[in-house]
Amino acid sequence: MFLKACQCGIQYASVTRSKTRLELSFTRTSFYNMPCEAVAHFLILYGSQRGQAQSIAEEICQQAAEHGFTADISCLSNQDKYNVDSEIRPVVFVVSTTGDGDPPDTAQKFVRKIKSKSLPHDHFSHLRYALLALGDTNYANFCNGGKTIDSRLQQLGAKHFYATGHADDGTGLEVVVDPWIEGLWDSLKKTFSSMATSNQQGTDLSDCTQDNNSKNASNQEKNKPDLEVDLHLLKLSEVDSQKEKTITSDSSDAETLSTVLVASLKQSVPPLSESALNVPALPASYLEVLLEQASTEGETVPSKDGYHEVSISKAVQLTQHDSVKTAILLELDILEQNIAYQPGDSFDILCPNRASEVEELLLKLDLQMQKNCAVQVNLLKNCSKKAAKVPLHIPQNASLQFILTWCLEIRSTPKKAFVRALADFTQNGSEKRRLLELCSKEGSADYNSFVRDANVCLLDLLRAFPSCLPPLSLLFEHLPKLQPRAYSAASSSLQHPGKVHFVFNVVEFPARPEHPARTGLCTGWLADHVSSILRPLGTVPASEHLGTSALPKVHVRPRPSSIFHLPADLSVPVIMVGPGTGVAPFVGFLQQREKEREVNQEATFGETWLFFGCRHKDKDFLFREELERFAHNGTLSHLIVCFSRDEPDAQGIVNRPTYVQHNLRLHAKNVASILLKDKGCLYVCGDAKNMAKDVNDTLLEIIGNELQVDKLDAMKTVAGFREEKRYLQDIWS
Ligand code: FAD
């Protein structure tokens, strides 16, 4: 069996090479008449916040060579590396979106530059470009980072040579990204041909967008696979071995036979298991990792980047022990560090990867003995990856254990390029075939079900494919930076000087065939970290008896919001919608209001409405006493609550409101009047996936009914609220 797999491997390699050669010679012929150097050369510019846009841009750069092009690649922030003001090559932009529909930090300077009012209307008339925008439909202003750049380039005369792609992280970026990249090559070829022709004829290129729009879809079908990998022999050998396994384990058991045919992370079924595969090109490796028995000096991550180490002075479980979710309030002591914040701001918290997962990863990589070695990371000499650099989030001379614990998101879902690369370090033929299937075009549905939607991480793959033994350099190349988690301040420093509170639910992911049960990385860690001082609501804090040195510590960094604050004008009415932990910033708002009311007794205060919801009144009504106090002393004009899982009350109200949007509907007249007549503000905080969308739909309905207009006009009015910063969201998924 092993021999068979090896023979198949040889077959696979030779087919791949010959197809690639064919493709290249075709490409060269089609560009024969063009001025060679300038012709097939284009530029890729990316604006990335968390590395997604960068890795897609790199993927495009990588694929370019296979299609007979060469590409330069640069981050938009490196303005000395490119000049779009005079760029004659086609440019491909890949731009993500962050915050409230903003371009990523790395693109901010570029955006400011192209937005300059002094630029003439034809400033970019020389520019031919394509743009891939990344976003998430769970958030407002989908793909707005890319759209902002796109519309400004258009205003200044730039022309699309290929229709803009809008990829949605909510449903899976690859759903749009993969076909978009596939269609790009044809458009580039045509663009270069037209450029060559217009150069010869002295004519100008026209906008290719329309052409692309209609042809984009057919491209995906028509395009010949660039790297058609014929794995039939490998597949047949697997089927043989599978048959053998079934027969030897229990040939009479019909159930065994049928379970063999169910697809899973580890195994495919026909037609995929019998299909030839189009796999992505193997990403070029570019890092060299050296492990030395030396002192580890680089272990300073938390103190960098504006983080402060602070004590957790209080930890209170806000939910009852039998509640479905566990919500915990933490109080951080920020007096010494002099950290300032306002209600509406958030804090970034650094959390480590789970020690047990780091240990298991070291074991799987056969590196436990080297975990305390100092790590040196260098660029490979002569690496072919464009703009390759050593990732900044991997410090030099830190120990391997430290890097795996604090620097890399080892729980991230491996992208197809990573799966592709892992396949090359997998000994077993069947396992290798399955990994290639998962990253192939034909195996997209399996990748979505068993990797992406199952939130599989590297460790899950190494468990499922035990003969996979990747080198450390591959992990460093593909695992993204471990990101801090943000939490909204749930307090006002007017009421709690020197302290900040926040509240979180311990995220729980049940066991699935692809991975064991686990808790969210940060929330699970925090819950464990504060267990020694955690107390139920209403009991005396154990931490009061502990000295500061005995308190658990955490690294935090303020994350100020530019807009999510109470209006400066105290008379403006506000509506707050915050079910579950979404109530956090509103507790801060109301603490601030309570103090302002004490200090400014003469002032006129606008009405305050809070729409809160949870499952059970007696189990998870967060901040109940405090909110009732606000309602009692007039800080809160209206506290409107609903409980989605409580039985109807004794009076048997059947159509009681279940979720916050139902209560909004019940108070539609007031909501409409506050927004339309009193120019009030609506704040929404919490779950992005369901709640924020439902609230938005309800708002459209309320405004539509009140103004007697259709949905489109209601949407325009609501968009106006957003622009006036009167409809503000702080939502997360
Ligand atoms: P992670 O391990 O990061 O998992 C979270 C997500 O990863 C899941 O939602 C899911 O999409 C995916 N995921 C990973 N593994 C699996 C799996 N096995 N199965 C299914 N899905 C999986 N949260 C609060 O509780 N309170 C707040 O006040 C708060 N404020 C925020 C403010 C801002 C500005 C932002 C951006 C976020 C805020 N959040 C808040 C969310 C918070 O930052 C974290 O995202 C959240 O606590 C989960 O973190 P985690 O590390 O525990 O989960």
Of the candidates 170, 733, 169, 171, the residue with the CA atom closest to the CA atom of residue 505: 733
Ligand 1 atom with the smallest distance to the CA of 523 is 52
Please tell me the distance between residue 642's alpha carbon and the centre of ligand 1 in angstroms.
24
The percentage of the chain sitting over the pLDDT mark of 70, rounded to a whole number, equals 83
Distance CA 657, CA 644 (A): 8
Q: Span 587-601, mean pLDDT?
A: 96
Q: Whose CA is nearest to atom 21 of ligand 1?
A: 455
Which tokens hold the place of 480?
Answer: 């993204």
Distance CA 284, CA 320 (A): 52
Please tell me the distance between residue 88's alpha carbon and the centre of ligand 1 in angstroms.
43
pLDDT tens for each residue of 683-716: 999 988 889 989 999 999 999 999 999 999 999 9
Please choose from 412, 450, 455 the residue to mutate so as to test ligand 1's pocket, defined by most ligand atoms within 8 A of CB: 455
Please tell me the distance between residue 216's alpha carbon and the centre of ligand 1 in angstroms.
36
The whole-number pLDDT of residue 199 equals 61
Ligand 1 atom with the smallest distance to the CA of 559 is 34
Please choose from 530, 557, 732 the residue to mutate so as to test ligand 1's pocket, defined by most ligand atoms within 8 A of CB: 732
Distance CA 140, CA 136 (A): 8
Instruction: Please tell me whether the overall predicted TM-score, pTM, comes out greater than 0.85 for this model.
Output: no
Please tell me the distance between residue 29's alpha carbon and the centre of ligand 1 in angstroms.
51
Q: What SS3 state is found at 640? A: strand
pLDDT tens for each residue of 125-152: 999 999 999 998 877 788 999 999 999 9
The percentage of the chain sitting over the pLDDT mark of 90, rounded to a whole number, equals 68
Helix (H) or strand (E) holding 30: helix 2-30
Please tell me the distance between residue 83's alpha carbon and the centre of ligand 1 in angstroms.
39
Categorize the per-residue pLDDT at 378 as very low, low, confident or very high, splitting at 50, 70 and 90. very high
CA angle 137, 93, 436 (to 5 degrees): 75
Please tell me the distance between residue 123's alpha carbon and the centre of ligand 1 in angstroms.
43
Q: Whose CA is nearest to atom 40 of ligand 1?
A: 487
The whole-number pLDDT of residue 649 equals 61
The whole-number pLDDT of residue 543 equals 53
The whole-number pLDDT of residue 195 equals 80
- Quick count: other Cβ atoms within 10 Å of Cβ 374? 21
Please tell me the distance between residue 480's alpha carbon and the centre of ligand 1 in angstroms.
16
Q: Span 246-274, mean pLDDT?
A: 66
Q: What residue ranges line ligand 1, CB within 6 angstroms?
A: 346, 411, 455, 485-488, 502-505, 507, 509, 515, 518, 520-524, 581, 584, 730, 732-733
Place of tokens 């479905």: 324
Q: Whose CA is nearest to atom 16 of ligand 1?
A: 455
Identity of the residue numbered 20: T
β-pairing verdict for 374-379 and 287-292: antiparallel
Ligand 1 atom with the smallest distance to the CA of 581 is 26
Please tell me the distance between residue 612's alpha carbon and the centre of ligand 1 in angstroms.
20
Please tell me the distance between residue 329's alpha carbon and the centre of ligand 1 in angstroms.
16
The whole-number pLDDT of residue 642 equals 93
Q: Whose CA is nearest to atom 53 of ligand 1?
A: 520
Ligand 1 atom with the smallest distance to the CA of 506 is 52
The whole-number pLDDT of residue 376 equals 95
pLDDT over threshold 80, residue 11: no
The whole-number pLDDT of residue 68 equals 87
Ligand 1 atom with the smallest distance to the CA of 485 is 43
Q: What SS3 state is found at 628? A: helix
Please tell me the distance between residue 580's alpha carbon and the centre of ligand 1 in angstroms.
14
pLDDT over threshold 50, residue 209: no
pLDDT over threshold 90, residue 394: yes
Distance CA 623, CA 618 (A): 12
Q: Whose CA is nearest to atom 11 of ligand 1?
A: 733
User: Which 8-state DSSP code applies to residue 89?
Assistant: S
Helix (H) or strand (E) holding 20: helix 2-30
Please tell me the distance between residue 526's alpha carbon and the centre of ligand 1 in angstroms.
12
Please tell me the distance between residue 687's alpha carbon and the centre of ligand 1 in angstroms.
10
Please tell me the distance between residue 139's alpha carbon and the centre of ligand 1 in angstroms.
15
Q: Whose CA is nearest to atom 31 of ligand 1?
A: 487
pLDDT over threshold 80, residue 100: no
Rounded to 5 degrees, φ, ψ at 691 are: -60, -50
Contact indicator for 60, 44 with CB cutoff of 8 Å: yes
Categorize the per-residue pLDDT at 628 as very low, low, confident or very high, splitting at 50, 70 and 90. very high
pLDDT over threshold 50, residue 218: no
Ligand 1 atom with the smallest distance to the CA of 584 is 28
Ligand 1 atom with the smallest distance to the CA of 457 is 15
Please choose from 507, 525, 614, 683 the residue to mutate so as to test ligand 1's pocket, defined by most ligand atoms within 8 A of CB: 507
Ligand 1 atom with the smallest distance to the CA of 507 is 52
The whole-number pLDDT of residue 653 equals 58
Categorize the per-residue pLDDT at 539 as very low, low, confident or very high, splitting at 50, 70 and 90. confident
Ligand 1 atom with the smallest distance to the CA of 585 is 28
- Max intra-chain CA distance, the chain: 88
pLDDT tens for each residue of 79-99: 999 999 999 999 999 999 987
Rounded to 5 degrees, φ, ψ at 714 are: -65, -40
Which tokens hold the place of 232?
Answer: 């039939």
Q: What is the mean pLDDT of the chain?
A: 84
pLDDT tens for each residue of 163-195: 999 999 877 788 899 889 999 999 999 998 888
pLDDT over threshold 70, residue 289: yes
Please tell me the distance between residue 520's alpha carbon and the centre of ligand 1 in angstroms.
7
Please choose from 326, 353, 523 the residue to mutate so as to test ligand 1's pocket, defined by most ligand atoms within 8 A of CB: 523
Please tell me the distance between residue 322's alpha carbon and the centre of ligand 1 in angstroms.
22
Categorize the per-residue pLDDT at 55 as very low, low, confident or very high, splitting at 50, 70 and 90. confident
Please tell me the distance between residue 728's alpha carbon and the centre of ligand 1 in angstroms.
20
Greatest mean pLDDT among 197-206, 392-401, 580-589: 580-589
Q: Whose CA is nearest to atom 24 of ligand 1?
A: 504
- What does the chain come to in residues? 733
pLDDT over threshold 80, residue 221: no
